[in-house]
Amino acid sequence: MKIPILLRVSAFLLILTTFSCARTESDSGSKPDCESDPGKELAEIAFLIDEFRDETETKTSTVLENGSIIYAWEATDTIGIFPNTGYQVAFPIGSQAGDSYATFDGGGWALKDNATYSSYYPFEYMNKRANRIPLIFTGQVQNGNNLNHIGDYDYLASVPTAPANGAVTFLLKHMACLVWLNLTMPVATNFTKISISSNVPVFKTAVFVNILDENLPLTPAATSDHIVLNLQNVTVDANNLLQAFMMVAPTDIADGEYYISAVDDSGRIYQADLSTGYNKVFKQGGKKKITATLALVSEPGTSKITTGEEVFGEDLTLQINY
């Protein structure tokens, strides 16, 4: 996964000097060989990640006020590219991991001037339809007081882009909202889960994105009344402050109830009711900080809490039909 790094620079450029075609893809995700298509010889392909947009509505503030987020790629990261007709191409980062840019060589494929191309991250071999790429938001785990887990769920996609003079630049947009939870707890103990919940199933736990559409529409595939972040080795500081980060698909709770909950390793549940006075919109490509003070609402063995629902239920498993 790509690793977030806190820096004042806020975007990265990935330069590819050649582009290989894909008639079929290998299971390993490496770039396959194929015959060249007629077209203009490739001059350059560039990938630029869009910045998260700050959300400054009621009782929210900018995430990471003293710096922005850029990404360094890992060797196992791979970007996928779809032409408007045809099969996808895989671009593995490989040996150039650790940098904010990478240069590829090899290939022999030409960009067609009468075609458009779209890209997405992370590449998945099973994705055969550019208009139906699944994005899953269940199973998020934060291990330690860091953002390393965010890269797995910060899905990126670019709009269809036409090449010019053998070159094309992709602006990769964030498909979800980066949420920074800044929670004051009544006790300093070990916490195992955090949940954002409502009394209505407004949270999209899985969506399909259509990267052939310039609006990059997201179609809900599964919804729930809660979304969970699992915690491992996350410590509470001297002020009983619990900080956590998660990705949430675009959501508008609107008139619904709105809760932040946490459970400790003894099974006690703590909660804050944010239904009044808090902004309830999680914007695509947005980043927001949620500050709240939680109170104990349930001892171990008590099934009902403030919402009257179980907000730490099992994550639904989505069966993807490729």
Q: In the numeric block, which tokens belong to residue 20?
A: 């290989």
Q: Which residues contact 146 (CB under 8 A, 6 or more apart)?
A: none
Q: Would you say residue 314 has pLDDT above 80?
A: no
126-143 pLDDT, tens per residue? 999 999 999 999 999 999
Model confidence band, residue 321 (pLDDT cutoffs 50, 70, 90): low
Q: Would you say residue 45 has pLDDT above 60?
A: yes
**What confidence score (pLDDT) does residue 73 get?**
66
Q: Sign of the C-alpha dihedral, residues 175, 196, 203, 314?
A: positive
46-91 pLDDT, tens per residue? 666 777 765 533 322 223 444 456 566 677 778 898 999 888 988 7
In this structure, how many other beta carbons lie within 10 angstroms of the beta carbon of residue 143? Answer: 12
Arithmetic mean of pLDDT over the chain:
76
Please state, in angstroms and as integers, the Cα–Cα distance from residue 37 to each residue in 78, 90, 237, following that order. 23, 17, 58
**What confidence score (pLDDT) does residue 129 get?**
93
Model confidence band, residue 239 (pLDDT cutoffs 50, 70, 90): confident
Per-residue HEC secondary structure of the chain comes to: CCEEEEECCCCCEEEECCCCCCCCCCCCCCCCCCCCCCCECCCEEEEEECCCEECCCCCEECCCCCCEEEEECCCCCEEEEEECCCCCEEEECHHHCCCCCCCCCCCCCCECCCCCEEEEECCCCCCCCCCCEEEECCCEEEECCCCCCHHHCCCEECCCECCECCEEEEEEEECCEEEEEEEECCCCCCEEEEEEECCCCCEEEEEEECCCCCCCCEEEEEEECEEEEEEECCCCCCCCEEEEEEEECCEECCCCCCEEEEEECCCCEEEEECCCCCCCEECCCEEEEEEEECEEEECCCCCCCCCCCCCCCCCCCCCCCC
243-268 pLDDT, tens per residue? 999 999 999 999 999 999 999 988 89
% residues pLDDT > 90 (the chain) = 42
Q: Would you say residue 102 has pLDDT above 50?
A: no
115-126 pLDDT, tens per residue? 899 999 999 999
Q: How far apart are CA 20 and CA 33, in angstroms?
A: 7
Q: In one letter, which amino acid is 241?
A: L
Please state, in angstroms and as integers, the Cα–Cα distance from residue 101 to each residue in 17, 95, 277, following that order. 12, 12, 42
Q: Would you say residue 233 has pLDDT above 60?
A: yes
**What confidence score (pLDDT) does residue 75 get?**
75
278-297 pLDDT, tens per residue? 899 999 998 888 999 999 99
**What confidence score (pLDDT) does residue 32 get?**
38
% residues pLDDT > 70 (the chain) = 66
The residue among 154 and 92 whose pLDDT is bigger is 154
The residue among 16 and 75 whose pLDDT is bigger is 75
